[in-house]
Structure 1
Amino acid sequence: MSSHFPLVKRGKGYAVDEVEAFLERAREAYDGDQQSLMSSEDLRTASFTMKRKGYSPVHVDAALERLEEAFARRERETALETMGREDWISEAKQTAQVILNRLSRPTGSRFRRVSLITQGYKRAEVDQFVDKIVKYFTIGAPLSIDRVRGATFQSERGGYDEAQVDAVLDAVVTVMLAVR
């Protein structure tokens, strides 16, 4: 098996066999005119078991981000060919508006909250980051895809539901890639 990435020296990294198998499927999907087998979203949401002597997560994640952008570019080109530019732009605007509607809710109420005995994302941090996304969509304020992808939040009891916040951030990345 070839080593695409450096191995971690201490601690755990991504399971080598899982990463290799995933990358092989991605290569086949991209090279082999079988776009339906894998999408940019699949690359964005990929996860691997953590194991000793695994691949460096930083290096694998960077490669997955580059692959995600390549897949998104191809998806955009295919959509433009099949839908036409106006319909494609209209669909991207509709998705952006759905996201903006959610994020325009009052501070502290933008996402579902978990129970008071459960840890969720710290509401104040999420709301502060969401304000940046709203400015990106409304006034074109600068915001990079990498910043959205890499957003992290501390946890608190009774915080925002992590899965819901993560799903919205994924949708933001999808729109950003679509209009790039």
Structure 2
Amino acid sequence: MDSIFPHARKPRLGYNTAQVEEFLEVARRAYDGNPIAGDAPLTSEKIRLTAFAMQKGGYSTSHVDAALERLEDAFAAQERQVASRLHGDEAWLREARTTAQVVSNRLARPESQRFDRMNPVVLGYNVREVDRFADKLTRYFRDGWPISVDDVRTVVFSTQRGGYREAQVDLVLDAVVDVMLAVR
């Protein structure tokens, strides 16, 4: 198979080429509705959570990540079409509104109390940075302020001792992406 992405310059690390190519083959079959025995079901959420091993000279992480974001968008649109046909647009949007309300309630908590905190000797996300981004998300949900799916997907927080629990923050960010893709 020809190289489908640029490679990271040696000795830099990139994504494992065999894993990326295998994943994309499974994704192509799933999207086309032709999975083969052994293919795990694939959804937009699973694409978002996909991770690859690293290797020297592997595929460029930025190029693969951009492709995965486009693939996630395509699967989300397909999932919405299927759900709309089965349950109607209103049911799809009602679910998105419910998720948005849960996220909004979480973000409405007082600053430095929006998420569980790590033990003071363990690293977590920087509380001030997360709260600042949470304020942007609150304005998006409450007032319709512009923020893109890519802004949410690519946000990076530094760490601090006793910071916010990373898994909890990431789960809320994933829910925000789900809502944003649902209302596109």
Distance (whole Å) between structure 2 residues aligned to residue 149 and residue 37 of structure 1: 22
Misfit runs of 4+, over 3 Å: none
Whether 1:7 and 2:7 are equivalent positions in the alignment is yes
* CA deviation map 1:30-74 (0-9, x unaligned): 01256x810001111110111101000000000000000000000
Aligned-residue Cα RMSD (Å) equals 1.3
Whether 1:69 and 2:73 are equivalent positions in the alignment is yes
> What are the equivalent positions in structure 2 for 1:84-95 lying under 5 Å apart?
84-95=88-99
Distance (whole Å) between structure 2 residues aligned to residue 85 and residue 70 of structure 1: 18
Distance (whole Å) between structure 1 residues aligned to residue 175 and residue 146 of structure 2: 18
Distance (whole Å) between structure 2 residues aligned to residue 113 and residue 92 of structure 1: 27
Say which of 110, 122, 126 aligns to 1:122.
126
TM-score normalised per structure 2:
0.95
Instruction: Give the corresponding residue for 2:109.
Output: 105
* CA deviation map 1:103-127 (0-9, x unaligned): 1111000011110110000000000
Q: Which runs of 5+ in 1 are unaligned?
A: none
Distance (whole Å) between structure 1 residues aligned to residue 133 and residue 149 of structure 2: 13
Q: Secondary structure at the match of 2:120?
A: coil
**Identity score, percent:** 54
Whether 1:133 and 2:137 are equivalent positions in the alignment is yes
Which letter maps to 2:72? E
TM-score normalised per structure 1:
0.97
Say which of 163, 171, 180 aligns to 2:175.
171
Distance (whole Å) between structure 2 residues aligned to residue 21 and residue 88 of structure 1: 31
Distance (whole Å) between structure 1 residues aligned to residue 54 and residue 156 of structure 2: 19
Q: Secondary structure at the match of 1:37?
A: coil
Q: Which runs of 5+ in 2 are unaligned?
A: none
Instruction: Give the corresponding residue for 1:29.
Output: 30
Alignment check: 8 A CA contact 2:92 2:182 kept: no
Distance (whole Å) between structure 2 residues aligned to residue 88 and residue 63 of structure 1: 26
Distance (whole Å) between structure 1 residues aligned to residue 63 and residue 89 of structure 2: 35
Whether 1:58 and 2:59 are equivalent positions in the alignment is no
